[in-house]
């Protein structure tokens, strides 16, 4: 069952504090104990809690990876990008489902480890990895983005994500996007001892503003992420809209006794009302 926004934010702060504490506790140990791949015969083994560029490394439980991919409803037509791909498990799991997937990871040893794991899994044709900074990387062509980052990093990424193509799915392990509420959330306890929550957002089309429907009808929308409010006016008579929202490029609202559904394409909306009558709007 979905948590209230207040409880979600409280949990987010607790997760953030716990991760920061983990970094402080394990930082010195990680620097001293993390193995280094210094020759071709030594296999690099990452240590849980080892320091990275912006976060400590904690792998996502395989059971949660499966749930995250289910939430994203990935298909062979998708292109998944995992931001901070770690040991590559999310990318490889997606590739095993036939989805082209790409991991961006700052740690070069983890990149090499992921590439070797992809070879062993036989998915190098679909699973690729690159050493890079997620904030300096272009992943605008992704249809699915997965991540396991701290809340402040999610917030830094949020403007980039919101500018991606409407309908892009974003799935996060444990951490949210502040007041951008998730469209879906799950919690798993199947072989998962910590960080067992996942949240999904669908990037909404941008519809804020005034729209002309013709025949003396106008639509004024105020948008807050996937939520909408506003009014529909016909021949000067104003009707408030309700049950309004975005799901990617799809818009739904009710006004004047009719439910309207449509698809947004830039500054054009085309759809039908609940009586089956076609309608269109232009901004």
The helix or strand, by DSSP H or E, that contains position 16, with its residue range, turns out to be: helix 5-33
In this prediction the pTM is 0.85
Compute the distance between CA of residue 61 and CA of residue 252 in angstroms, rounded to an integer.
36
Residue 17: per-residue pLDDT: 43
Q: Which segments of the chain have a pLDDT < 50?
A: 1-8, 12-13, 15, 17, 19-41
Residue 61: per-residue pLDDT: 93
Residue 33: per-residue pLDDT: 36
Residue 42: per-residue pLDDT: 65
Token digits for 153? 């990093």
β-pair partners for 264: 269
Residue 53: per-residue pLDDT: 77
Strands, DSSP E only, in 71-178?
79-83, 100-105, 127-131, 144-147, 169-173
Residue 54: per-residue pLDDT: 78
Residue 191: per-residue pLDDT: 81
DSSP letter, residue 10: H
Residue 9: per-residue pLDDT: 53
């Amino acid at each position: 069952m979905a948590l209230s926004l207040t409880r979600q934010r409280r949990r987010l702060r607790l997760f953030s504090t716990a991760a920061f504490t983990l970094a402080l506790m394990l930082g010195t140990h990680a620097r001293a104990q993390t193995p280094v791949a210094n020759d071709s015969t030594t296999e690099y083994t990452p240590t849980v809690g080892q320091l990275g560029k912006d976060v400590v490394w904690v792998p996502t439980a395989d059971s949660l990876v499966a749930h995250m991919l289910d939430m994203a409803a990935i298909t062979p037509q998708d292109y998944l990008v995992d931001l901070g791909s770690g040991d590559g498990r999310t990318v490889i799991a997606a590739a095993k489902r036939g989805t082209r997937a790409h991991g961006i990871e700052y740690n070069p040893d983890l990149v090499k480890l992921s590439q070797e794991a992809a070879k062993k899994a036989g998915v190098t044709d679909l699973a690729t990895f690159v050493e890079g900074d997620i904030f300096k990387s272009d992943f605008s062509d992704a249809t699915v983005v997965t991540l396991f980052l701290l809340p402040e990093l999610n917030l830094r990424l949020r403007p980039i994500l919101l500018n991606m193509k409407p309908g892009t799915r974003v799935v996060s392990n444990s951490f949210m996007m502040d007041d951008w509420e998730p469209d879906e959330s799950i919690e798993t306890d199947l072989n998962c001892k910590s960080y067992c929550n996942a949240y999904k957002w669908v990037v909404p089309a941008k519809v804020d503003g005034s729209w002309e429907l013709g025949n003396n009808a106008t639509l004024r929308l105020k948008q807050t992420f996937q939520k909408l409010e506003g009014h529909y006016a016909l021949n000067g008579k104003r009707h408030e809209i309700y049950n309004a929202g975005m799901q990617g490029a799809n818009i739904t609202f009710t006004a004047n006794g009719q439910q309207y559904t449509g698809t947004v394409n830039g500054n054009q909306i085309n759809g039908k009302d609940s009586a089956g009558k076609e309608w269109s709007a232009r901004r």
